[in-house]
Structure formats: C-alpha cells, structure tokens
C-alpha cells in the first residue's frame, strides 16, 4: 500500500513537471513565430515583446529544475523513473536555449530596420523559422505520446534546415560581394540564420531525448550535419550571443 501511495505521488509530480514543459514549449513556439514575424514586418514593438517574454521561459526552466530536484530527493525514483526526470531536465534546457535564440533574433530587428532590405531574405528566414517551429511542435508531441518514430522524423528533418541555412549563407556572401553597402545588413541576417539553424539543433536534441526515454538508447552521437559553412562563417559568426 505504501509503495502504491509513493508511485501515485510520483505520477502526480511528473504530471506537474510535464505540464510545465508543455507550457514552456508553447511559449517557445510563440517566440519563434513572433521573432520571425517581427523581422519580416520590421515590427520593433513585436520584437521587444519577444525579448520581454523570454523571462517567462527562463522562469519555467528554473521551476522545472527545482521540481525535478525535489522529486529526486523525496521520491528516490527507480532507474527508469530517474531516466524520465533527467530527460525532462534536458528538454527544458533545450527549450530555454531556443528561447534565447529567438530573443537574439528579436534584438537584431531594431538594427535591421535602419538598414536597406536584402531582397528575399526576410521571407526565406521566416520560412526557415517556420520549419523549426513545426519540428519543435512534433518533438513535443513525440514526447507526450512517447512516439520514437515521430522523434526520429524530427531528427531527419534537421537536414532540411541545414540546407536552408547553407543556401542563405551563399546568398548573403553574393550580396556582400556585389555591393559593400550590403555588408552590415548581411552580417546581421547571417547571425539570425545561424541562430535559427542552431534552434534546429536544439529541437533535434529534444527528439533524441524522446528516443532515449522510450528505448533506453541514445541515438548515434555524431548525427549527420549538413551545415557546410562553418569554416567560411567563422569570421563573422555571432551565434553564441545570449
């Protein structure tokens, strides 16, 4: 009877943590959409909203970690249950990083409003951000449904995001070579593209955690990457801004 009571309490604790994860995921999805929209429409007010709302994402990550630590300390979870708690913490960390990258996108909007537009770049970036948002939605769905196949599909789609990034990188280089006046704008746009590409990597990490949670195995550590620009981009890559 005591064991049943403890198991029931653990289930309630886990449901509360999962509810926070889903709320956090919803905020991050909205952040990606709003940051991309702010860029496409040159909406500085919306960009500021994205930056301001990032605090709520950070707060939720802290709450997830605090609650997870409390559960580990009080419930002494079994190996399988502990795997679940650790996966939740890693998912929360990935969501927080994606939120940071949305905020970084929004920071650039105010600067880009003052610069000449680069033809087609805003639509391409919004399309790329939309793909990452859809990947994130599916990754979160795969977590709730414990669907390893859907999680693997998310991992496979990260290559599409990398290809979008590669194409944009080449376009930005072309614009800069054609007219030096485009250099500043293209550097900011490249920063945004790189942040979106990194969002895709963090979404993939979430999907990998789902596979680990379902199967107990970690997907191959060196997953294929299709970002071919790393060495060329090193000179002006600011993607680690927090």
Q: Is 158 inside any structural domain?
A: yes
Q: Is 162 inside any structural domain?
A: yes
Total domains in the chain come to: 1
Tokens (6 digits) for 37: 């929209």
Q: Is 112 inside any structural domain?
A: yes
The pTM of the full predicted model, rounded to 2 decimals, is 0.87
The mean pLDDT value for 35-58 works out to 95
Here the CATH number for the domain that contains residue 213 is: 1.20.58.220
Range(s) of the domain holding residue 53: 2-236
Q: Is 109 inside any structural domain?
A: yes
Q: Is 76 inside any structural domain?
A: yes
pLDDT digits (tens, 9 = 90+) for 136-146: 999 999 999 99
Q: Is 191 inside any structural domain?
A: yes
**What residue spans of 76-182 are helical by DSSP H?**
79-113, 121-145, 148-178
N- to C-terminal Cα distance for the chain?
A: 49
Q: Is 241 inside any structural domain?
A: no
Q: Please write down the long-range contacts of 29-32, taking CB distance under 8 Å and 24 or more positions apart.
A: 29/133, 29/136, 29/137, 31/57, 31/98, 31/99, 31/102, 31/103, 32/98, 32/102, 32/129, 32/132, 32/133, 32/136, 32/199
Structure confidence at residue 78 (pLDDT): 75
């Amino acid at each position: 009877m005591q064991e049943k009571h403890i198991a029931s309490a653990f289930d309630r604790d886990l449901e509360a943590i999962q509810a926070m994860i889903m709320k956090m995921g919803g905020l991050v999805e909205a952040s990606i959409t709003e940051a991309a929209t702010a860029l496409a429409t040159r909406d500085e007010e919306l960009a500021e909203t994205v930056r301001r709302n990032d605090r709520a994402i950070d707060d939720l990550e802290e709450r997830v970690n605090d609650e997870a630590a409390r559960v580990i300390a009080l419930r002494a979870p079994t190996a399988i249950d502990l795997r679940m708690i650790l996966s939740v913490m890693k998912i929360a960390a990935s969501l927080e990083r994606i939120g940071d990258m949305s905020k970084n996108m929004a920071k650039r909007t105010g600067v880009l409003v003052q610069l000449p537009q680069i033809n087609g770049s805003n639509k391409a970036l919004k399309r790329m951000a939309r793909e990452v948002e859809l990947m994130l939605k599916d990754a979160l769905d795969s977590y709730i449904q414990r669907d390893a196949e859907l999680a693997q599909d998310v991992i496979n789609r990260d290559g599409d995001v990398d290809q979008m990034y590669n194409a944009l990188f080449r376009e930005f280089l072309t614009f800069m070579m054609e007219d030096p006046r485009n250099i500043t704008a293209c550097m900011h746009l490249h920063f945004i593209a790189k942040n979106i590409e990194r969002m895709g990597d963090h979404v993939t990490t979430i999907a990998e955690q789902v596979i680990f949670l379902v199967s107990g195995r970690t997907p191959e550590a060196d997953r294929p990457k299709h970002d071919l620009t790393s060495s060329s981009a090193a000179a002006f890559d600011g993607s680690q801004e927090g």
